[in-house]
Amino acid sequence: MTQACPVLRLSPSAVSFPPSPPSTARQSRKGSFDGSTEGGLSSSILERTTDNHPSYPLPPQNSSKGVLLQDLKTPDSHVERDSRLIRLTGVHPFNVEAPLSDLYDEGFLTSEDLHYVRNHGHVPKCEDQDIYDWTFTVEGMVARPFTLSLRELIDTYEQTTYPITLVCAGNRRKEQNVVRKSKGFSWGPAGLSTALWTGVPIAELIARAKPQRGARYVCFEGADELPNGYYGTSVKLNWCMDANKGILVAHKMNGCMLHPDHGKPVRIVIPGQIGGRSVKWLKRITVTAEPSDNWYHIYDNRVLPTMVTPEASADLPETWKDERYAIYDLNANSAICYPAHDEKVSLTTGLDKYKVRGYAYGGGGRRITRMEITIDKGKTWRLAHINYPEDTYRLAPEGEMLYGGRLDMWWRETSFCWCFWEVGIGIAELEEAADIMVRAMDEGLIVQPRDMYWSVLGMMNNPWFRVVIHKEGHSLRFEHPTQPALMPGGWMERVKKAGGNLSNGFWGEKISGEDDDTVKREPQREICMINPKVDRLITLDELKGHGGENEPWFVVNGHVYDGTPFLEGHPGGAASIVGAAAQDTTEEFGAIHSENAKAMMPDYHIGRLDEAALAALAGSAEECDPNRAVFLQARAWTKAVLQEKVKISADTKVFRFKLDHESQEIGLPVGQHLMMRLRDPATREAIIRAYTPMSEGTDKGVLDVLVKIYYDTPERKGGKMTQALDSIPAGHFVDFKGPVGKFEYLGKGLCAVSGKQRRVRRFNMICGGSGVTPIFQVLRALTKDHDDPTECVVVDGNGVEEDILCRLQLDAMVGSAKHRCRLLHTLTRPSPAWTGRKGRVDKALMEAEIGPCEKAGEDMVLICGPEAMEKSVHAILSGMGWTDEDIFLF
Ligand SMILES: Nc1nc2c(c(=O)[nH]1)N[C@H]1C(S)=C(S)[C@@H](COP(=O)(O)O)O[C@H]1N2
Ligand SMILES: [Mo]
């Protein structure tokens, strides 16, 4: 029966084994391919037997885990995790890999603690006592659909156990991202893990349901509801029915019930294919005639042709749907684990060889049949010894049970797991060499390519793995291609920064004997934001000293900029620069700014951060105290959970967010805005926009934001932000930051524009559509205070009557201050019943309602609406004598 994972588990099988084997060699049977290794290394492969049983590896122990502080405020606050895991997508969702050395050191099997995790969203909750009652269905094109509980799955079917290496299709993607940013986050080379999986072959369940003629695919769906629906994908029906493929409906990993991150209580596990097909938290198995139409099946886990750019990919639905580009089998791949990144080897120890070691895997059950290594850039190669721990399980005696499942391996010809290779290389040779590169070949004689095949999702990256050797005094220092996530380091970034073209077929190095000019330069795709003449190194302390309104400095891509000269000119107001002071704002900057804005950056560039400062910033995702009195923070993103969406017109909704606690104040001055940040669930790209909420800035506990959703239509693409926001289910959070904006209404006619105070006798406010929101804020402040003498007229232009947003509230506000406020609606497409004004906000209307500027500096016009409207209104006003001093465009 399934059991929870005890922290110090005793070996459940009769086989005794060292509990935490320090190296793979010790726990593995001799490999079947004995490559000609140098230095007699094959002698380190021991054959161990106990009680006449051939030994096979058992999993390393788990440590005791708890819920980590960072997870507390996320929807995953029920999940216990190991703090060694490297988070690749910020705090949430949880996408992690272990440090490469730790992963390798654990040996053939990876513990639950260090197993990589790829979660597209939150982890569905299933309490321990409920796991047996969890059900999933087998349905679709079958004669006998049925629903199965986990209890029935365990009680009525024979269980099997065997080792499987899961690999995310994004493994090694950071290398692609350094060459050119793909639409995916940066996995290092540890996006893979191996475990003993226990469950029922899926063929048995599908056979019971009796597929009908025409059925060709099997779709899987999980319980995790994501912005684009539940996670789901499909594989071929044929594969499911083929015992050789080994597809399991699994409920135990390494002998324990599934950890929440790995699909508790039940999931699909597909050996030899990318991890993305192994659906976790399984709810539905559907037999179909066509591949899955799930969003994640179409827009994830594909290798599109290399010329499809991130920009172009947004408009190519047919390309995405082309099943030929979907990934199923893994490709041959390998990495060097030792020497590790930054490892130093002394030249004076007297040792004459260094044992270069690493992992390799093939796909589709194909064995890695050779592993080659070069230290002269591929001119000559030597063979490494390969060690296949997986084969030891094939030798288990007939009937051997492991974790309640039959150890079902002896007859299999397939290779479902990673293998390990090693080769001794003379230290003197390494001293002479510039780099070490490795490549694997599989039994289909497919060999890893020298050159990268870049593609828009950055998947299946498998060029030769290259470690650079640096000679430093009396030692050698080794440098891997990259470090995972945003961690700096690796030769790829270094070479690129130095102007090398990583795609020149020579790892970005100058090709000897060739003229510089003959080397094809990488086309300049990114705007240069640095001043090449600036070479100042800036420390963390110096940066921290510029964290206030005085001389705010900020960091983009590791470079430091002084925002002081631009405080007044910045379109977002000084607050947006001050808010970023002393912080790394790389992501936000990229998300918000145009190419023009980027081109201005060299003028403000003053230096770059030193290594220590870079490292410090990389690790400091600022945490906010959830007990704080004010929700919005100018300098840090804070989270609020979406509570509900209330539809108020055909395309407009109020999104209600719950703040950290009931007495927490929003903290937004009248007339200012807040920033909302969402992430594209598949690409993890940040989308950031400014909104003015409906709530008053002094409201507590909840925050209402009115958003007009720009849906995609056949003619044009809709809004990225608004559609993404609309697709977020209740219970998910959104990031906020603020306030931002140049205008603030202080009350009783006093306002501040870019920090300069002025008194206003009358506000002329012109808005259209959802542009009403900042106007709404000012109007509310000015009508609510009965002692406020300020006059105002609001002109609200819309298409049809139903488009008028917040009409009742606007009427009520103006109604309470009739003697000094007026509200006019005008419609361009009125129904016959409309008795109000008709037509656009044009010259006639403005001359009648606003009139020429009588006393410059006394009255003000505030405008907020669609860009075309803002422009035309601005032009008309200029013609009427209004100067920009008295016009404010939100
Ligand atoms: N329901 C569900 N299943 C899922 C995913 C997910 O986000 N939701 N991620 C997939 C991807 S892309 C991978 S690589 C594997 C990762 O499995 P692991 O987290 O157990 O290592 O799960 C797959 N199954
Ligand atoms: Mo994945």
Least confident of 27-41, 318-332, 604-618, 848-862: 27-41
Look at residues 308, 342, 278 and name the one whose alpha carbon lies nearest to residue 118. 278
Contacts of 620 (CB under 8 A, 6+ apart): none
The 10s digit of each residue's pLDDT in 773-793 is 999 999 999 999 999 999 999
Joined together, the tokens standing for residue 888 give 């404010």
Nearest atom in ligand 1 to 119's CA: 7
- Inform me whether the pLDDT recorded for 558 exceeds 90: no
Mutate to test the pocket of ligand 1, among 96, 118, 285, 300 (most ligand atoms within 8 A of CB): 118
**Does residue 253 line the site of ligand 1, with CB under 6 A?**
no
**Does residue 187 line the site of ligand 1, with CB under 6 A?**
no
**Residue 105 among the catalytic residues:** no
| pLDDT score of 340 | 98
What's the gap between Cα 650 and its chain centre?
32
- Using 50, 70 and 90 to split pLDDT, how confident is the model at 623? low
Quickly count: other Cβ atoms within 10 Å of residue 623's Cβ. Answer: 13
Burial grade of 321 (CB within 10 A; 0-12, 13-18, 19 or more)? middle
Mutate to test the pocket of ligand 1, among 264, 270, 278, 297 (most ligand atoms within 8 A of CB): 278
Distance CA 735, CA 641 (A): 9
Distance CA 378, CA 438 (A): 9
Q: What whole-number percentage of the chain has pLDDT above 70?
A: 91
Q: Which-ligand-closest: CA of 122?
A: 1
- Inform me whether the pLDDT recorded for 22 exceeds 50: no
Nearest CA to ligand 1 atom 4: 279
- Inform me whether the pLDDT recorded for 647 exceeds 80: yes
Joined together, the tokens standing for residue 215 give 């059925």
Q: Are 507 and 497 in contact (CB under 8 A)?
A: no
Using the 8-state DSSP alphabet, how is residue 839 labeled? S
Look at residues 613, 560, 606, 607 and name the one whose alpha carbon lies nearest to residue 585. 560
**Does residue 171 line the site of ligand 1, with CB under 6 A?**
no
- Inform me whether the pLDDT recorded for 73 exceeds 60: yes
Distance CA 383, CA 36 (A): 6
The 10s digit of each residue's pLDDT in 26-64 is 333 333 333 333 333 333 333 334 455 558 999 999 988
What are the DSSP calls for 478-508, one per residue? EE-S--STT---SHHHHHHHTT--TTSSSTT
- The Å distance, Cα 271 to ligand 1 centre, comes to 13
What is the reported pTM?
0.65
- The Å distance, Cα 276 to ligand 1 centre, comes to 5
| pLDDT score of 19 | 34
- Inform me whether the pLDDT recorded for 120 exceeds 90: yes
Residue 181 φ then ψ, to 5°: -55, 125
Q: Are strands 405-407 and 160-167 parallel, antiparallel or unpaired?
A: parallel
Q: Beta strands of 81-188 (E only): which ranges?
A: 86-87, 95-97, 117-118, 135-140, 146-149, 160-167
Q: Which of 254, 301, 333, 501 is catalytic?
A: 301
| pLDDT score of 53 | 54
- The Å distance, Cα 281 to ligand 1 centre, comes to 9
Nearest atom in ligand 1 to 169's CA: 14
- CA distance readout (Å), 689 to 381, 622, 649, 719: 53, 21, 21, 11
- Using 50, 70 and 90 to split pLDDT, how confident is the model at 17? very low
Q: How confident is the prediction for the chain on average, in pLDDT?
A: 88
- CA distance readout (Å), 701 to 586, 631, 648: 31, 9, 22
Q: Which of 300, 408, 435, 442 is catalytic?
A: 300
Q: Which-ligand-closest: CA of 169?
A: 2
Mean pLDDT to the nearest integer, 570-586: 81
Residue 611 φ then ψ, to 5°: -55, -45
Nearest CA to ligand 1 atom 10: 276
Q: Are 303 and 326 in contact (CB under 8 A)?
A: no
Joined together, the tokens standing for residue 124 give 């569905």
Pairwise pLDDT comparison (242 vs 550), residue with the higher score: 242
Nearest CA to ligand 1 atom 24: 279
| pLDDT score of 265 | 98
**Does residue 576 line the site of ligand 1, with CB under 6 A?**
no
Nearest CA to ligand 1 atom 2: 280
Residue 703 φ then ψ, to 5°: -135, 120
Distance CA 4, CA 19 (A): 18
767 annotated as belonging to a binding site for a ligand: no
**Does residue 276 line the site of ligand 1, with CB under 6 A?**
yes
Using DSSP, state whether 17 is helix, strand or coil: coil
Nearest atom in ligand 1 to 170's CA: 14
- The Å distance, Cα 454 to ligand 1 centre, comes to 23
Helix (H) or strand (E) holding 797: strand 791-798
Pairwise pLDDT comparison (282 vs 883), residue with the higher score: 282
Q: Which-ligand-closest: CA of 166?
A: 1
Q: Which domains does the chain have, with CATH numbers?
A: 77-325 (3.90.420.10), 333-497 (2.60.40.650), 537-618 (3.10.120.10), 638-740 (2.40.30.10), 743-889 (3.40.50.80)
Using the 8-state DSSP alphabet, how is residue 102 labeled? H
Label each residue of 247-285 as H, E or C.
Answer: CEEEEEECCEECCHHHCCCCEEECCCEEHHHCCCCEEEE
- Using 50, 70 and 90 to split pLDDT, how confident is the model at 615? confident
- Inform me whether the pLDDT recorded for 132 exceeds 60: yes
Mean pLDDT to the nearest integer, 853-879: 88
- The Å distance, Cα 686 to ligand 1 centre, comes to 21
- Using 50, 70 and 90 to split pLDDT, how confident is the model at 720? confident
Nearest atom in ligand 1 to 167's CA: 14
**Does residue 280 line the site of ligand 1, with CB under 6 A?**
yes
- The Å distance, Cα 168 to ligand 2 centre, comes to 4
- Find residue 326's DSSP bridge partners: 302
Distance CA 590, CA 554 (A): 13
Contacts of 337 (CB under 8 A, 6+ apart): 100, 101, 103, 104, 357, 358, 359
**Does residue 281 line the site of ligand 1, with CB under 6 A?**
yes
- The Å distance, Cα 402 to ligand 1 centre, comes to 25
Mean pLDDT to the nearest integer, 431-458: 97
Distance CA 659, CA 104 (A): 43
**Does residue 222 line the site of ligand 1, with CB under 6 A?**
yes
**Does residue 673 line the site of ligand 1, with CB under 6 A?**
no
Q: Which-ligand-closest: CA of 221?
A: 1
- The Å distance, Cα 481 to ligand 2 centre, comes to 21
Least confident of 518-532, 597-611, 735-749: 518-532
Residue 733 φ then ψ, to 5°: -105, 165
Tokens 């029906």 appear where?
237
Nearest atom in ligand 1 to 281's CA: 1
- CA distance readout (Å), 399 to 99, 402, 408, 410, 680: 37, 10, 9, 11, 49
Torsion-angle region of residue 881: left (phi > 0), alpha (psi -120 to 50) or beta?
left
**Does residue 605 line the site of ligand 1, with CB under 6 A?**
no
Least confident of 28-42, 630-644, 840-854: 28-42
**Residue 535 among the catalytic residues:** no
Nearest atom in ligand 1 to 230's CA: 1
Contacts of 559 (CB under 8 A, 6+ apart): 529, 530, 605, 607, 608, 609
Residue 86 φ then ψ, to 5°: -90, 120
Tokens 């209580």 appear where?
265
Nearest atom in ligand 1 to 274's CA: 14
**Residue 242 among the catalytic residues:** no
**Does residue 278 line the site of ligand 1, with CB under 6 A?**
yes
- Using 50, 70 and 90 to split pLDDT, how confident is the model at 355? very high
- The Å distance, Cα 192 to ligand 1 centre, comes to 12
**Does residue 168 line the site of ligand 1, with CB under 6 A?**
yes
Q: Which-ligand-closest: CA of 98?
A: 1
| pLDDT score of 513 | 56
Look at residues 280, 287, 134, 288 and name the one whose alpha carbon lies nearest to residue 209. 287
**Does residue 92 line the site of ligand 1, with CB under 6 A?**
no
Using DSSP, state whether 39 is helix, strand or coil: helix
Contacts of 498 (CB under 8 A, 6+ apart): none
What are the DSSP calls for 671-699, one per residue? T-EEEEEEE-TTT--EEEEEE--SS-TT-
Torsion of CA 611, 613, 617, 619, to 10 degrees: 60
Q: Are 368 and 415 in contact (CB under 8 A)?
A: yes
Q: Which-ligand-closest: CA of 270?
A: 1
| pLDDT score of 520 | 44
| pLDDT score of 8 | 40
Q: Indicate the residue type of 235.
A: V
Distance CA 327, CA 53 (A): 39
- The Å distance, Cα 119 to ligand 1 centre, comes to 6
Joined together, the tokens standing for residue 293 give 């139409």
Q: Are 759 and 788 in contact (CB under 8 A)?
A: no
Q: Which of 5, 126, 168, 864 is catalytic?
A: 168
**Does residue 117 line the site of ligand 1, with CB under 6 A?**
yes
Distance between first and last Cα of the chain: 63
**Does residue 279 line the site of ligand 1, with CB under 6 A?**
yes
| pLDDT score of 50 | 45
Nearest atom in ligand 1 to 121's CA: 7
Joined together, the tokens standing for residue 202 give 């899926």
| pLDDT score of 567 | 87
Mean pLDDT to the nearest integer, 312-331: 94
- CA distance readout (Å), 412 to 162, 244, 443: 11, 7, 15
Using DSSP, state whether 136 is helix, strand or coil: strand
